[in-house]
Structure 1
Amino acid sequence: MPLSTTNFRAIDQGNCNPRFMRSTLREIPVSYDLWNDSGLPLGLIVQPLADLHQADVQVPLASTSAEGPVRCQRCKGYINPWCRFVDGGRKFMCNLCGFDNEVPSDYFCHLDMTGWRTDIEFRPELQLGSVEFDVPEEYWTRKPAPVSLVFAIDVSWSAVKSGMVESVCSAIQGILYEGSGLDKETKVAILTFDSSVCFYNIKASRAELEQAQMMVVSDVNDIFLPLSEGFLVDPVASKRVIEDLLRLLPSIHTNNRATVATMGSAVQGSLLALKETGGKVHIFQSLLPTLGPGALKGREDQKLYGTDKEKQLFLPQNPFYTTIGKECVQSGVCVDLWLFPQNTIMDLSTLGVLPALTGGDTHFYPNFDSSQHGALVHSLERSLKREQGYNAALRVRCSNGISIEDQYGNFDMQNATDIELAGIDADSSIGFSLKYDARLKDTEELYFQCALLYTTTSGLRRVRVHTLCLPVTGSMHSIFKHADVEVSLSLISKKIISQATKRSLNEINLDLDVQCVKILTAYRKYCAASSSPGQLVLPDSFKVLPIYTLCLKKSALLRRDPNVTSDVRVYTMRAIKSASIAETIKWIYPRMIKVHEMLVQDNVNVTPMERLSYSRLSSSGIYLIESHIYTFLWIGQHATPELLQNVFGVTQSDHIDSCMTQIPALDNTLSRQLCECLDNDYSTSPEKARLYIIRQGLDSEQEFVKTMVEDETYGQMSYVDYLCLIHRQVLSELEKDKQEAIVSSASYWAYRY
């Protein structure tokens, strides 16, 4: 199985594309005891709307009858390639629960001599692991409608001064009317807020409406919708009015002296507009909301940083956002939060509840300025144009003997099985930990099925079904051989984030060490017992487990660092909790590209990489590090004039503009390769980090050095030292097991004689 970060093409032959669903173990242990002895995590990462490789076949739409897709009468699983037809095609056996179902008369087909239906080539649901079905009205919670978008913009003094209002308005206008635009059926609305909430009539069908009409609701504690029509409009039909409004908003509020922004009222007003149809709200906020519903107080206490009491800062201080978040879920309204604080704390623990419950995203731009405009445009365009749905429900079903133990992600749940998502998109993933209900048979196969019921942005109600078949094994060698370290790390990350409000960071850090030691001890004990005691033996599939564990401990999730505010930590938690496997790896161990080797390598399709250690940097090279927070371009002080000319268009490093916000696109092979590499990466990334130019010997390397996670950073040991520590602990565990075995043997013989 290729790594999640690999650029690969997948062929669906009955198992869904691994981009949609991956298991931590590709061979499932036959029993709980065998799995527990391995120490490996057991679970799934599901990303039902994930982007596909350009060569992959798109998920097909399977035909259905008026009653909807064929399902098992007992477990409600959907028909899939692993169901077996019997009794001449009159029945099918559910692969999930084993129940024999009557085949509906309009779905009946004869079987050939090998037991296959004769119409299988016309039935994608019987050939492919991923399919979609249109569903009838019984699957509706409300009449499906094309998506509606509300842009709620903070226009307080802080928002205007920072340039946020101008940048947001410019970004919205560019996305709506430049390039491909949005889906034809999409409707948009605009409201602004400070100490009051302003709704805008932007419908252009009325001849007398030459510009947007502003309607102000001053009583922020009693919000209502002041217009019955003209708020949600077709952006194409109202292009002139919308463009004029977006152009004027920054100048209208230039002299605004309001120092408050009633975000809670803006959310209530947006929900009123979308309550009947569902949709998505994008809230752009620059300061802590201290007025109206959901008003908050500053509560940041730096004395708690790094202590066992820091977890108190991760709890919401006001139940308002939880309450309205659940109302949004019930109405199919997803919320994306865009925060632009200026040297202030936004209390993301409380505000972030809205996107966390509704399946939305939190975007964080501390100390925003105009140099970050490109990053904002990228993120907003990705948010609006990626594949997505709303008013969704998701459920994962498992074969007999295995069931779901817990779920991790940004969503709401009203019962123990169904995940409710007001919105879901191509970048959203959900983690599932599994548990044993009974011992399995090592001759059988295990099945998992993810079903996502959702409304498309064009207003179609569909269910997307992904099915995965995995073998069962009784061999510890096979378990380790087919374990997936990237999926495991993603699941572990999501799990520890869910514990952050209950346990201290120190306890979580210690648990990570214990789990790492347990896994490596199990491999040494059961798969490499004959190895030399002084040799650290790592399983091939989990060789990077120690470095990933160390990097997770050094990340903003867990490190004890007074510079990591509660906002930064919570933002990181919420982002990783819903991040894809590949994005999680990028958060924890960013890739470092050797730019100077891109031309001399043999295979142009392979990007030359380097490990994250300062000792590995060459002073004659140029290196690019991509993380979610920073993009660093480090230029060695001995880089050749030719190399500098190819990348920057100058021959001396002191002539490079250290304030540039993007790498220049020049007419030479190296520049084209570098720009193409970055464009490919950004095209599927939800965020575009700010670029920093670091010229060795000229610019400060303080932040750059912190990304060298294999070195001693943040007061924590280097990778080499950590590896030695883990090795000693593994040997200690093996010696402890040996002593326990001796004592057990002695007790046995003493009892016998």
Structure 2
Amino acid sequence: MSRFSGGCIYHFPLFKASDTILSDSFERSFRRYLTRKIGFESVMRIRCSRGLAIHTFHGNFFVRSTDLLSLPNVNPDAGFGMQVSIEESLSDLQNVCFQAAVLYTSSKGERRIRVHSLCLPVAANLSDILYSADQQCIVGLLAKMAVDRSHESSLSDARDAFINVAIDVLSAYKLIQSSGGHNSLLTPYNLRLLPLYILALLKYVAFRTGQSTRLDDRLFAMCQMKTLPLTSFIQAIYPDMYPVHYLDDKSCAEVDIEGTLVPQPPRLHLSAEKLNSNGAFLMDAGDHMMMYVGHNISTQFCTAVLGVPSFSHIPEEMYELPEIESPESERLRNFVNHLQNEKPYPTMLQVIRDDSLYRGKFIERLIEDRSESALSYYEFLQHLKANVK
């Protein structure tokens, strides 16, 4: 029903109202659902220049005509995708235009319209296209298309399509290079992360194979692929990871955000090579956060940040940072709050010891490492290199 009504799906696996953590998560989601801005009785019309046509829409809505979508409700947590086909020659055009207009009724009963317009140059050669391509938009649309292919054909076909796209893009770029004989894998700077994002999709719950995945989890992940806004989608498939054990170090920069000093630790590659037993690492996956604590973490960090005397005293289930009056605790909480403020609603933070039963939840998100059924990032690049023509 949500697919055609502009709605959304929430997933609370193994939910028990008596479980404080699960009930808190449900409360946060439900509060956001009730308090977010919303539009009713909405329609979206998308227009484009002569010679172009939109042939496929992705998202939750009802298609009323070739360019008109019916949205019983529209909200800021929804994303959409469109595939455009070229039906006539564009050789006589220098630019093409797209316009999306949303007509809706606000929660105050006001009828409003919102319009977005986009003008893009028409490229006459392949290099202009490759050098101006947006890798995140490409991956976002690929994921939506892959969900449809999984339903219409098979999961295997969807996974093959991901790899074929990477090979085709890299082959096209190799073709336009003036000098031959390159032994390395070449890619435009703006598409340098495309292979990494595709590997992340192959390892994401919606499309992964070779490991136990509950059907409900896979279907929910596919629903998310179809409707997540682009920034949330990228963070879901390739989370942000930060070292948070040295926020008091002078080398860690701070920025003043509305009168609060917020540390800015560097983002790390999602690989076990970046972890060490002396550190603590925060992973932000969008809808949840995890802090991985090494067994050799200092007692100072345990006391000042976690409120326990040593690593062995960290609870097996710890889902929030205690408010401790110490500089270390204040810096970490300021950083976490800064990340939370960029989200639609605050998410759960789970503290995980490196000998915990929950360790696998963190480790499986280290996308660049090899797993039992998937290649490492380096091995994936070698596979692409061998197939690029």
Superposition map of 1:703-742 within 5 A: 703-730=361-388, 733=389
TM-score (norm 1): 0.48
Q: Which amino acid aligns with 2:54?
A: I
Residue number in structure 1 paired with 2:187: 538
1:603 and 2:261 matched: no
Residue number in structure 1 paired with 2:259: none
Q: Equivalents in 2 of 1:650, 1:719: separation in Å?
A: 37
State the shift of 1:678 in Å: 2.9
Structure 1, residues 381-406: CA drift from partner, whole Å, max 9, x if none? 22222222111111111112222121
Residues 625, 633 of structure 1: 8 Å contact kept: yes
1:451 and 2:101 matched: yes
> Could you say what secondary structure the match of 2:97 adopts?
strand
Q: Equivalents in 2 of 1:677, 1:531: separation in Å?
A: 48
Runs in 1 of length 4+ with deviation above 6 angstroms? none
Residue number in structure 1 paired with 2:57: 407
Q: Equivalents in 1 of 2:14, 2:243: separation in Å?
A: 31
1:420 and 2:84 matched: no
> Could you say what secondary structure the match of 1:477 adopts?
helix
Residue number in structure 2 paired with 1:559: 208
Q: Which amino acid aligns with 1:359?
A: G
> Could you say what secondary structure the match of 1:557 adopts?
coil
Q: Equivalents in 2 of 1:442, 1:653: separation in Å?
A: 68
Q: 1:477 to 1:666 in 2, by over 3 A?
A: farther
> Could you say what secondary structure the match of 1:615 adopts?
helix
> Could you say what secondary structure the match of 1:634 adopts?
strand
State the shift of 1:478 in Å: 2.6
Q: Equivalents in 1 of 2:92, 2:312: separation in Å?
A: 65
Sequence identity percentage:
27
State the shift of 1:602 in Å: 4.6
Q: 1:545 to 1:442 in 2, by over 3 A?
A: farther
Q: 1:571 aligns with which of 201, 204, 220?
A: 220
Structure 1, residues 356-385: CA drift from partner, whole Å, max 9, x if none? 211111111111222223222221222222
Q: 1:674 aligns with which of 332, 344, 348?
A: 332
Q: 2:138 aligns with which of 470, 488, 495?
A: 488
Structure 1, residues 654-709: CA drift from partner, whole Å, max 9, x if none? 12233222122333444334333333433453576544322224555223221111
Q: 2:34 aligns with which of 384, 390, 401?
A: 384
Is the radius of gyration larger for structure 1 or structure 2? 1
Q: Equivalents in 1 of 2:92, 2:278: separation in Å?
A: 56
Q: Equivalents in 1 of 2:331, 2:106: separation in Å?
A: 36
Count of equivalent residues: 377
Q: Equivalents in 1 of 2:359, 2:6: separation in Å?
A: 37
Structure 1, residues 94-114: CA drift from partner, whole Å, max 9, x if none? xxxxxxxxxxxxxxxxxxxxx
Superposition map of 1:241-260 within 5 A: none
State the shift of 1:464 in Å: 0.7
Residues 292, 354 of structure 2: 8 Å contact kept: yes
Q: Equivalents in 2 of 1:524, 1:562: separation in Å?
A: 35
Q: 1:698 to 1:445 in 2, by over 3 A?
A: closer
Residue number in structure 2 paired with 1:440: 90
Superposition map of 1:239-638 within 5 A: 354-368=1-15, 369-441=19-91, 444-526=94-176, 528-530=177-179, 532-561=181-210, 563-600=212-249, 601-605=251-255, 606-627=264-285, 630-638=288-296
Q: 1:426 to 1:677 in 2, by over 3 A?
A: farther
Gaps of 5+ in 2: 256-263
Q: 2:359 aligns with which of 701, 710, 731?
A: 701
Q: Equivalents in 1 of 2:52, 2:331: separation in Å?
A: 47
Q: 1:674 to 1:355 in 2, by over 3 A?
A: farther
Q: CA RMSD in A?
A: 2.1
Q: Equivalents in 1 of 2:91, 2:329: separation in Å?
A: 56
Q: Equivalents in 2 of 1:563, 1:704: separation in Å?
A: 16
Q: 1:647 aligns with which of 290, 293, 305?
A: 305
State the shift of 1:597 in Å: 3.7
Q: Equivalents in 1 of 2:117, 2:357: separation in Å?
A: 52
State the shift of 1:426 in Å: 0.6
Residues 210, 373 of structure 2: 8 Å contact kept: no
TM-score (norm 2): 0.90
State the shift of 1:603 in Å: 3.0
Residues 44, 100 of structure 2: 8 Å contact kept: yes
Q: 1:503 to 1:688 in 2, by over 3 A?
A: farther
> Could you say what secondary structure the match of 2:117 adopts?
strand
State the shift of 1:557 in Å: 1.0
Q: Which amino acid aligns with 2:215?
A: S
Q: Equivalents in 2 of 1:646, 1:439: separation in Å?
A: 66
